[in-house]
Structure 1
Amino acid sequence: MVTQKPTSQTGLRGLGRLVREPALLVLEDGRLFRGLSYGAVGETVGEAVFSTGMTGYQETLTDPSYHRQVIVMTAPHVGNTGVNDEDGESHRIWAAGYVVRDPALRSSSWRATRELEDELRDQGVVGICQVDTRALTRHLRERGSMRVGVFSGSAAQRPESELLDVVRAAPLMAGSALAQEVTTREPYVVPAQGERRFTVAALDLGIKEMTPRLMSERGIEVHVLPATSSFEDVQAVGEHGPDGVFFSNGPGDPATAEPEIALLRQVLDARVPFFGICFGNQLLGRALGFGTYKLKYGHRGINQPVMDRATGKVEVTAHNHGFAVDAPLDDVTVTPHGRVRVSHVSLNDDVVEGLECLDAPAYSVQYHPEAAAGPHDAAYLFDRFIELMTDRHTSDWDEQIEEAH
């Protein structure tokens, strides 16, 4: 096994020093990195992925899309803004583990109420620090995301061959159905701010708190539903059914989400305006008849360039996805639900980043337009949802389609 040696033996909890324990990071291909414990001491396994964001780590850790993933931070210095009670995207940390190079000795933000490492420890998130994350990221970029284990304390004292067996016994991300593990158990409502203009049924596949908040700011009353909801549950939203349906981001392999895809096809058949992001984009693709596939190492971070093909505008966007839609970039495809085209594309690798239905009120994007903690280039997509629902109320969609033909 190839190893990396730690460079420091001390850390902080609050303002009190402690001695860190030895830790090991073991990849399923046998690569091994040595470091020191960070956060909770123990062991964890998951899919190793790297995030290129230089800030916003609290939003990243609390994003349910990172369920069962071990996040490798490419930014070398992590923890300097601490943790607060406002920036979380859910009620807990969802990441299975955390890998950093140089943890901050103490937070230096006036908004911080506690230290990042204390938060990781209190929530039982096992991490490792003093790792050459540049070398680790290059390894993952060349060989692809793979299963990984982080072991510290007594867990790290076991034979390396035994630790490798633990990693290789972990479930693969491909084939994993995870949305039902992160979804809300009961429906809840996020009221519209000011006058209520529309009512939306939002399927929680791993929704981030900022998403319904941005919709509520636009006068939308958001009914957040469990991932297991039926079409009848969706129809029961609002006095006369929802004005629109939204599918959120979330973890797992979209090929496993047959119940959610079946629900989406019913939404398309009913011609209810639809907007999906990230996992919701992949499910729209599959509902329309396209395939999905696993990316080599995915897109994760808040600095991903995407082009809106209708305007030519380049947006800097936030991503977290390891799967993508397999659709032709330059052709309009005829599907059982009408014509569809690719609306957005990644400028890094030509991955499909958005779909637009030309004969149905539905569209989606692969990235996170709510963009907590930024950027905010794609916030217009929520306004577009408003326009789609407004058009449904002010004119007959079928007549518009006939005119378009």
Structure 2
Amino acid sequence: MLDVSKIRADFPILSRQVNNKPLVYFDNAATSQTPQPVIDVIVDYYSNYNANIHRGVHTLSQEATDKYEIARQTIQTHFNAKHAHEIIFTSGTTHSINLVANGFSALLKKEDEIIVSALEHHSNIVPWQMLCERTGAVLKVIPMNLEGELIMETYDNLLSDKTKLVFVNHISNALGTINPIEYIIKKAHAVGAAVLIDGAQSCPHIKPDVQALDVDFYVASAHKVCGPTGVGMLYGKEEWLKKLPPYQGGGEMIAEVTFEKTTYADLPHKFEAGTPNICGGIAFGAALDYMNNIGFDNIASYENELLAYATEQLSTIEGLKFYGTAKHKTSVISFNLEGIHPYDVGTILDKLGIAVRTGHHCAQPIMDFYCIPGTIRASFAFYNTKEEIDVLVEGVKKAKMMLS
């Protein structure tokens, strides 16, 4: 059992008002809020040991380097990577995906095939389309059904000896569907394909074990797990990271530079050109420590309770339609009111202090599948309450009354 009132006290923003109403923050799938212990780590960095890392012999540089590399080890432990150098710091999930896509430009050839799913965020579609344009590879798509689940029979039929890469999100940001990634990874490996899993939406709810999954690449962003924006990570199996060429050139990622030839540094520095988001990396580790102290089993259990309660309460509103009713899903609800644009509902909810997301959620193919312009998305975190859900339900009722 979570002591939610105690947890909420860790988040300063949850005590503020919006439009003279207590803030109800249900946009957690876009970004989570940051607890005071993580804020304190950020302030401590800039107050006490702000310095560049890996290059300086002075005390501040050494302190910053130690903290940064300890954070890398924290992330390694959290995701159960075999080696710390399999964790590459990036600016976020999008950066991580583009890093891998760029690397495979040197490994793919014309008519090789790569597979994505119909449930993907644009950041897990566009880089692969760009990769196909560069290489002549062919992009294939795992379709979805009306419940928002991937059709695995079609996936099985798409796989062949031409398949080189498979990219699927662990959890859909738009619908909350939890995809069967264990099955997807196993089947892809059976035909010799590598797999990248977009874990941006799963990491706030699930503690992935990359070795147990046997996944080749796993990507995530700190700001989804109570950390800062502008930092994330790429996990890659050592053998794959050694095969991929560097994504960017510059300082830090080199072993030796001459005007005749440059040799590259060992992992992880090969992929970490330039001065990184040092404070962000350290705070990423602190955010994972914070969530692990609460416990991911506790988080999942409580958020499932919120999901069930919200689904039940919203179901009482006539004319409300849910999108994404998969058997296995996390605490995300996408819905619309019949005959009312989602943007209009979101605007009224904001006036009531309720923060939800409206639109296509960077997942236009999903909205095209349902033939809608977008949805109203309420996404819950472990610091939300049933009382806040009651406020949302009343707000939706008021919006319906005003807009009908």
TM-score normalised by structure 2 residue count? 0.28
Where is the helix percentage greater, Structure 1 or Structure 2? 2
The higher relative CO (CA closer than 8 Å, separation ≥ 6) is in 2
Where is the strand percentage greater, Structure 1 or Structure 2? 1
